[in-house]
Amino acid sequence: MFDFITWTAHPVIFQFDTFWGTFALRWYALMFIVGFAIGVKLMERYYRLDGKDPERVYRLFLYCFFGTLIGARLGHCLFYNPDYYLSHPLEILMTWKGGLASHGGTLGVFIAVLMYAKSDKLPALFVLDRLGIAVAPVAALIRIGNLFNHEIYGHVTSLPWGFRFITNLGAYEAGREPIFTEPSHPTQIYEALCYLAVFGINAFLYKKCDAGRRPGLLLGSFFTLVFGSRFFIEFIKNVQEDFEEGMLLDMGQLLSIPFIVAGIWLIVRAKRRPMVTFEPASTKK
């Protein structure tokens, strides 16, 4: 019925001039905000089900927000282009120029949760397991943001759902005619669908299999499924930096392997240990 999809979506939803300059709301930022809002509501639900005060989630949100932002930015700068950013350290702070790495964001959240759990006197794995459910929709929406940014797409394809992305995005935003790629794999959508599937699987494990009572199981499932899918999708994704050309495995795959190994180890460990119990929400004073 069709040979390809010509993707002309504009990255900016709306913009207007202010005293300080032009303000623009971009789809990527909106997806980030909506994703975090959904994540907060999910975490409130799981805290309530496990007898914890859902108000504590707002402190967790602050830790995770800054952990994600700082970790993702440092991950991009240090994993993908360390020579440049170490020579221009002030540009590390210029997040508006783009450049966030999901692996770095994951590490940032992990460290932030360890800090939060210590200050809030909660087991770190209790928090991380429930984030293993709540973070998946956030990751899916961020990939949809990448779709609107015409970035992180895949190799040329003849499949009917191939997308033609805009290559001269800056000029297009300034009002010029777009220049399109050849029809390419919309790997942003592939990843988003995988992350939504992870959300469904982990939510099912929590509800039907008491996975929340096996510390590390949901986190291990999240690591294994998210980064396992990322590993395989990278085979049809364009490299992000020139130095990755010709590599047997690109940087995204190399960074995914430790998470996959850690995920398998967490699953095995969780299955071998006894289940824990939590105070029911109805008995909480």
Instruction: Give residue limits of the domains in the chain.
Output: 5-12+25-276
Who contacts 7 (Cβ-Cβ below 8 Å, separation ≥6)? Answer: 147, 150, 163, 164, 165, 166, 186
Residues 80-112, buried b or exposed e (16+ Cβ, 10 A)? bbeeebeeeeeebeeeeeebbbbbbbbbbbbeb
Per mean pLDDT, which range of 65-74, 227-236, 262-271 is the poorest?
Answer: 65-74
Residue whose pair of structure tokens reads 């790629």 in the numeric block:
181
Of 227, 221, 226, nearest in space to 202 by CA? 221
Q: How confident is the model at residue 223 (pLDDT cuts 50, 70, 90)?
A: very high
CA distance 285 to 283: 6
pLDDT score of 282 more than 50: no
Phi, psi angles (nearest 5°) of residue 241: -135, 150
Alpha carbon separation from 120 to 57, 116, 127 (Å, rounded): 10, 6, 11
The answer to whether residues 160 and 4 touch, using CB atoms and an 8 Å cutoff, is yes
Confidence of residue 37 (pLDDT cuts 50, 70, 90): very high
| Torsion angle of C-alpha atoms 276, 280, 283, 285, degrees rounded to 10 | 80
pTM of the model as a whole? 0.87
d(CA 64, CA 12): 26
Q: What is the mean pLDDT of residues 149-162?
A: 95
Residue 123 burial (CB < 10 Å; 0-12/13-18/19+)? Answer: exposed
pLDDT band, residue 196 (cuts 50/70/90) = very high
Confidence bin at 258 (pLDDT 50/70/90): very high
